[in-house]
Amino acid sequence: MLPQELIRAKRDGRKLPAEDIAHFVAGIASGTVSDAQVAAFAMATFFNGMSRDEAVALTLAMRDSGQRLDWSDLPGPVTDKHSTGGVGDNVSLMLAPIVAACGAYVPMISGRGLGHTGGTLDKMDSIPGYVSQPDTALFRRTVTETGCAIIGQTADLAPADRRFYGIRDVTATVESVPLITASILSKKLAAGLGSLVLDVKLGNGAFMAKSRDAAALASSLVEVANGAGLATTALITDMHQPLASAAGNAVEVLNAVDFLTGRRRDARLLEVTLALAAEMLQSAGLANAQREALGMARQSLESGAAAERFGRMVALLGGPGDFLDHPHRYLVRAEVEKPVLAPENGFVTGIDTRQIGIAVVALGGGRVHHDHGVDHAVGITRLLPIGTSVRRGDPLAMVEARNEAKADAAVAMVSQAYVLGDSRPTVKGPVLRRIA
């Protein structure tokens, strides 16, 4: 089927045969399908959706567009986690070494930022020398020797998704359940996993702002993954406020280092990280119950074993050998720091989390075009969580910017994102639901 005919069929709401989807995906990988055709297909799918069988076919076609890894020679289970994207979501940086220190192997293939959400790969790229897209030999060596490696897609892994991912980011087609499903799972299937845990974000900082939409995405991911032969469960977690107290690239890496070394741990970030670690350990068969799994995860964190794994991973992938001891020496910092001041006394009762993410993008910490770079130095730090008591003039957050003009613009955006009230609000825990 010609690309334009497949687009027409999806535009008109017809179900696509698996072989036609595979042919179109092969064209995405080879370049015979144009950017305009990819964008048109994405928009048609956004409006008309896909059946479960179509989503499985799209996922498998993108998986098969490149190399598939095999970890059968490793002495332990191979598992991974993926987040659907949030603001201040640096969980992967701590989670991979925590789970690795418990005996699993975590070959974590991550993406760059999409829309207002940050990308794990952009964060890792802020570490000087770190090779975020290594060849297969270095990837294998790192996973084998440290138990984990956080990298991006290489040219050989799901290349069709790599191109599709970038085009979706700039064509307002990110929030499509089947496209998100296929994008996430094609990489995970190509990575040769034995099990997968998904962190599906819900809230005003997530791509899924409504509970039913988050549940639909989680169910789609679990059903399609299991339909494609990958044992998968999902946790739905809250993104009505930034997860960490930092949003950006280098600032989130520093937050992760503080977390791993015990210098500082944001409470909600800790709860989500441990919950996902426990889910991964159970899915991998290393723990029989949640309580046992949580205990294992806490022990690997408190003993320093997880931090040690992270440090070794960074060094093996080209980063500084003493990065954990001296992160400030290596992470780039922005020149201008300005506070966002509380305009009155009260409590933080709400945060427009998407606005925080947009402020980071406006500072240069995210992309306006899919082939643009990011400024790793900029971001927002010391973000106060919902429920915090403040007095007029207290800092709600700190903006890290390259110049005064960008700092002032970001301060205004972050100030508008914070809602203050007279009464302390009730704040629910960040782990909302499990889907299996």
Cα three-residue angle 71-75-77, rounded to 5 degrees:
65
Q: Provide the pairing of β-strand 336-341 with 395-401.
A: antiparallel
Of 332, 356, 372, 413, give the one whose Cα is nearest residue 117.
356
Catalytic residue among 10, 81, 268, 367: 81
Catalytic residue among 65, 110, 183, 353: 183
Decide if 349 is catalytic: no
Catalytic residue among 10, 63, 82, 406: 82
Decide if 120 is catalytic: yes
β partners of residue 395 = 341
Helix axes 52-63, 18-30, angle to 10 degrees: 40
Decide if 402 is catalytic: no
Catalytic residue among 80, 122, 125, 375: 80
Spatial distance between the Cα atoms of 416 and 405, rounded to a whole number of angstroms: 17
Decide if 300 is catalytic: no
Chain-centroid distance, C-alpha 213: 18
Helix (H) or strand (E) holding 83: strand 79-83
How crowded is residue 428: how many other Cβ atoms within 10 Å of its Cβ? 10
Decide if 65 is catalytic: no
Decide if 219 is catalytic: no
How crowded is residue 13: how many other Cβ atoms within 10 Å of its Cβ? 10
Catalytic residue among 112, 116, 168, 201: 168
Of 364, 303, 312, 405, give the one whose Cα is nearest residue 126.
364
Q: Dig out the tokens for 380 from the structure.
A: 């927002």
Catalytic residue among 10, 112, 116, 188: 188
Catalytic residue among 45, 120, 233, 381: 120
Catalytic residue among 162, 187, 312, 354: 187
Cα three-residue angle 175-69-140, rounded to 5 degrees:
110
For residue 420, report the phi and psi dihedrals to the nearest 5 degrees: -110, 145
Decide if 83 is catalytic: yes
Decide if 81 is catalytic: yes
Spatial distance between the Cα atoms of 301 and 305, rounded to a whole number of angstroms: 6
Decide if 73 is catalytic: no
Catalytic positions are: 80-83, 120, 168, 183, 187-188
